[in-house]
Structure 1
Amino acid sequence: GKTNMAMLIPTLPGWKVETVGDDIAWMKFGADGRLYAINPEAGFFGVAPGTSAKSNFNALESVKGNSIFTNCALTDDGDIWWEDLSDEAPAHLIDWKGNDWTPASDSPAAHPNARFTAPAAQCPSIAPEWQDPAGEPISAILFGGRRATNVPLVTESFDWRHGVFLGSIMSSEKTAAAAGVVGELRFDPFAMLPFCGYNMGDYFKHWLEIGEATDASNLPKLFWVNWFRKGDDGSFLWPGFGENSRVLKWIVERLEGTAGANDTAIGRVPSASDLDLAGLDIDDATMATLLSVDNAAWSAEIPQIEAHLDSFGAELPSELRDELRELEKRLG
């Protein structure tokens, strides 16, 4: 998600994305009270399977030389391969375990977490300022969820505290929803649970303290994006990849005060007319689903959200429980 976003090639005419980094941002306040970020890493460390010319052309260009590949498959001519790298798999490979592999094999040729490591300077979209120690001013922070249901394509938080709450309840479906029953959710607050080396309650508190450290007008706006909403047939409703630039355009316009949004129970969500959908083959009903907020479905998730927050015990900041109560009121 992060790597594809950082190296995105917009489908919208006149728009350009430049890459500063794809993973870690170290942020500190500048003299003007705004947050500035640097990329402390010299390169990219990305998941290989699923990376292709369609999903991330710039990543493939970045790994053409001076790169390290781990747990990928080997072709007969000594090159590397992973699932989705090409439309058709080679007729024969040595898989990541060192065994012969063909398209008829039962297991994947590359490990699902196979990786590539490449110098950032080789990326075609690398920004000229990517090593500037002054950093880049941060206008918005996007939390990326993976929800098949309920979570709209993009949601703007009401304010900083509400955005921290949204980050704290990020989840994916652990089990599919049966008729009239909410699926079991796997919570991954801020997509940081596997990476946070201390109590997540203290992590939430740190985010809240950042919101109190400067004037609210200096803070980045917080957004929640979800490219993974699915239809009844299990297919993704949003095309993703370069088309995500349409959502980024709306976010930029929200920062500039020129784009509309609707206040919903969970945050501010655009109407289809607020998004630039020119040239996109997507029907009105699909867009309505992508931008919908079902209050009844969200109300049904409240017990799981409550249990998730309870799991942090006494370290959970009271502000997040207050936000949950406010969400319940808005849901009616």
Structure 2
Amino acid sequence: MDPLNTLGNISSPDQAEKLFKVKLDSTQSAKMAKIKHPEVLIRIANAIALCRPSKIFINTGSEQDKETIRKIALEKGEELALAMSGHTIHFDLAGEQGRIVDRTYYIAEPQDLVSSLANRMPPEKAAKEIEKHMSGIMENLTMIVGFYMRGPVGSPVANPALELTSSAYISHSAELLYRNAFDNFDREVEQKGYFFTNVHSEGLNRTEDLPHARVFMDRKYQTTYAWKCTYAGNTLLLKKGNHRFAVDKAVYQDRGRELSEHMFITGIGGPGGRTTWCAGAAPSGCGKTTTAMAGNVFIGDDLAQMWIAQDGSIRTINPENGIFGIVEGVNDEGDPLLMKVLRQPGCEVIWSNVLMDEKLKPHWVGNMEPAPEKGINFQGEWHQGKTNEKKELIPISHPNSRCTLASDNLDNFSPEATNPDGVVTRIFTYSGRDADTMPPVWVAKNPDAGVVIGACIVSATTATEVGVTGIKRAPWANAPFIPGALGDYMDAQFKFFNNPDIKKHFKPVMAGLNYFLTHQARGGDSSKLLGEKRDVKVWLAWLERYAHNEVGYLSTPIGNLPCHKDLAELFEQIIDKDYPRSLYDMQFALYTVKIIQRIELQEKAYAKEENFPEKLFEILAVQKTALLNLKEKIGDVIMPDYFENLI
């Protein structure tokens, strides 16, 4: 059962055309006439029939259309103009400052395999919910219809997608984050043989409606539905909603040839002016944008589509064309290129859930600037010292406050981002908010062990998910977006990175990254980081040299670690900083008890999954046995010099 076509009750292009004649004015009809693909027409018509908008605006991506969308966003009050030209601010409901994971469902038959980490609902029940809440939801509102590509037009792994929304803020955001492909949409759909459909309405946008807000994802018909919510992670369905469909495609249609990952893409400079491309996974709120910007040239900070090209290389594109980035902690010291866009005129930026002061200037936690005495933020009027009902201080901005901007505003933006052939990617990193266990960087000894690094990400939770706290596993930093069984996803990872078509000189370097280690974790009494945010430039530089066999390494049970000599040279060369042996020892000592506990956590969790690849358990068992032997022989803490003496 396809809820959209069933509820809209339009099954032919002729029926769609008749509806368009009634609902579209002459200007919008002329634009719509350029779209010919019958399935696209039927999908749009059924969304109109279901939601019953008072007006329809066809967004072709022209400058005139973009300006119209900006004006609608301001007129509706979805955005407010800030002092700096081109800057606006959007506030979500106080109770919707992140993904509503408890109200997000896959539409699935009982026999369908769905991730054990997700909610599900059968099609008949979902259709009733959609009809109840979306029928007529756009009355007295304008539906904006957008035609996008998730990736450069012509790329083999780019996805065509429709965005149908009553929110001008969401449409405005889509214009910054994605490629409007109105002129190429028919051809891309014809060539690809599919397209994604996204239907959203904020409705009346009232606090009392939020408990009834839902996000539904129909994998069979590649359609998402969202209502009574405005946070972009729930409503900009081109993003994580369609990312889920792209994951499905990689796992169940192109297994071993394609992957869809929650990864940044950055280029790391090496000797002789070369650039080595790196893709890295990290849960939202765990420094992914910062790490992406630590490279020399930038393509993306959140999502990556990759495939094995005919030349035997792994190629990667960014399905997005912009940044929807967390701003807490963004400042001149750690993020100078991003701060230049945010604080200097000339760029278009949508802010969300930061504080707007009386001079219409945005402020946020961690910007290292003087804070205003009062203003308006995510919960309404704010002043220094204001508390909530629990007598807790209300911060100047929400931890999940965002900035939305087009990537080509950044000084280090790479033109390769527009290349439909993607970039040759050699390095793959996996990281989380790990305060006490793993070293800053370690490299898997083979692709299978690299897949296991990704599967074993553990992180402190962040503000990106409503109502989620504590420490949790975050497999591949992609688990919330894996629709099917985790075992199938892991099998796809093993098959992809071991694909015999990958040429030897393109073999992947797969590594763990962790720059959240604290002094407390290594015998100190401070909760401060054991190092600095900018140190990630060095960890990436070392991986770049490792990929080209230009540095040595220490072989350990968890993987290969850098040698102090190489790191000290890179610290001086890359960030002009001393790197004493004492700090190296603290960062790269193996704390066997904690690492063994981490392994056992993964073994226990994955044992609950059905049909899970035994390879994971075999690799973890080998690592645990080796660590137990070292613990018995040497003690709880293994210093790097032990492994140096084995060289």
Query: After TM superposition, is the score higher than 0.5?
Result: yes
Is 1:119 aligned with 2:406? yes
For residues 374 and 578 of structure 2, the distance between their equivalents in structure 1, rounded to whole angstroms, comes to: 37
For residues 8 and 173 of structure 1, the distance between their equivalents in structure 2, rounded to whole angstroms, comes to: 22
Query: How far off its partner does 1:129 sit?
Result: 1.8
Query: How far off its partner does 1:185 sit?
Result: 5.4
For residues 471 and 616 of structure 2, the distance between their equivalents in structure 1, rounded to whole angstroms, comes to: 19
Unmatched runs of 5 consecutive residues or more in structure 2: 1-286, 388-392, 462-469, 630-647
Query: How far off its partner does 1:237 sit?
Result: 0.7
The alignment partner of 1:133 has SS state of coil
For residues 192 and 285 of structure 1, the distance between their equivalents in structure 2, rounded to whole angstroms, comes to: 35
The alignment partner of 1:259 has SS state of coil
> Comparing 152-161 with 300-309, which one deviates more in the overlay?
300-309
1:181 is matched with none
2:590 is matched with 293
2:515 is matched with 227
Which protein is bigger by CA-based radius of gyration?
A: 2
Q: 1:173 to 1:84 in 2, by over 3 A?
A: closer
1:54 is matched with 333
1:86 is matched with 368
Alignment of 1:206-245 (within 5 A): 206-213=492-499, 214-215=501-502, 217=504, 218-232=506-520, 233=525, 234-241=527-534, 243-245=535-537
Q: CA RMSD in A?
A: 2.0
Seq. identity, %: 24
Of the three residues 344, 349, 354, the one matched with 1:67 is 349
Contact 2:457 2:473 in 1 (8 A): yes
Query: How far off its partner does 1:100 sit?
Result: 2.7
Of the three residues 85, 110, 113, the one matched with 2:397 is 110
Query: How far off its partner does 1:150 sit?
Result: 2.3
Is 1:149 aligned with 2:456? no
Query: How far off its partner does 1:109 sit?
Result: 2.1
Q: 1:85 to 1:296 in 2, by over 3 A?
A: closer
Query: How far off its partner does 1:77 sit?
Result: 0.5
1:177 is matched with none
Query: How far off its partner does 1:281 sit?
Result: 4.2
For residues 398 and 362 of structure 2, the distance between their equivalents in structure 1, rounded to whole angstroms, comes to: 12
Contact 2:385 2:394 in 1 (8 A): no
Contact 1:93 1:102 in 2 (8 A): no
Query: How far off its partner does 1:104 sit?
Result: 5.8
For residues 223 and 300 of structure 1, the distance between their equivalents in structure 2, rounded to whole angstroms, comes to: 20
Alignment of 1:1-332 (within 5 A): 1-8=287-294, 17-63=296-342, 64=345, 65-102=347-384, 106-172=393-459, 186-213=472-499, 214-215=501-502, 217=504, 218-232=506-520, 233=525, 234-241=527-534, 243-275=535-567, 276-278=570-572, 279-311=576-608, 313-331=609-627, 332=629
For residues 283 and 191 of structure 1, the distance between their equivalents in structure 2, rounded to whole angstroms, comes to: 32
Contact 2:448 2:494 in 1 (8 A): yes
Q: 1:86 to 1:239 in 2, by over 3 A?
A: closer
Query: How far off its partner does 1:244 sit?
Result: 1.7
2:179 is matched with none
For residues 108 and 140 of structure 1, the distance between their equivalents in structure 2, rounded to whole angstroms, comes to: 37
For residues 539 and 459 of structure 2, the distance between their equivalents in structure 1, rounded to whole angstroms, comes to: 21
For residues 164 and 56 of structure 1, the distance between their equivalents in structure 2, rounded to whole angstroms, comes to: 30
For residues 286 and 85 of structure 1, the distance between their equivalents in structure 2, rounded to whole angstroms, comes to: 27
Per-residue Cα deviation, 1:81-130 (whole angstroms, up to 9, x for no partner): 11112333112221212213225651112121111100111111101222
Greater helix proportion: 2
Query: How far off its partner does 1:314 sit?
Result: 1.6
Letter in 2 for 1:194: P
Contact 1:264 1:293 in 2 (8 A): no
Contact 1:48 1:115 in 2 (8 A): yes
TM-score by length of 2: 0.46
Query: How far off its partner does 1:154 sit?
Result: 0.4
Letter in 2 for 1:161: D
Higher RCO structure, 1 or 2 (CA under 8 Å, sep 6+): 1
For residues 509 and 601 of structure 2, the distance between their equivalents in structure 1, rounded to whole angstroms, comes to: 27
Query: How far off its partner does 1:6 sit?
Result: 1.7
For residues 219 and 258 of structure 1, the distance between their equivalents in structure 2, rounded to whole angstroms, comes to: 16
Unmatched runs of 5 consecutive residues or more in structure 1: 10-16, 175-183
Query: How far off its partner does 1:173 sit?
Result: 5.8
For residues 205 and 284 of structure 1, the distance between their equivalents in structure 2, rounded to whole angstroms, comes to: 40
For residues 348 and 596 of structure 2, the distance between their equivalents in structure 1, rounded to whole angstroms, comes to: 51
Query: How far off its partner does 1:186 sit?
Result: 2.0
For residues 596 and 301 of structure 2, the distance between their equivalents in structure 1, rounded to whole angstroms, comes to: 35
Count of aligned positions = 314
TM-score by length of 1: 0.88
Letter in 1 for 2:298: T
Query: How far off its partner does 1:280 sit?
Result: 2.0
For residues 154 and 79 of structure 1, the distance between their equivalents in structure 2, rounded to whole angstroms, comes to: 39
Letter in 2 for 1:277: F
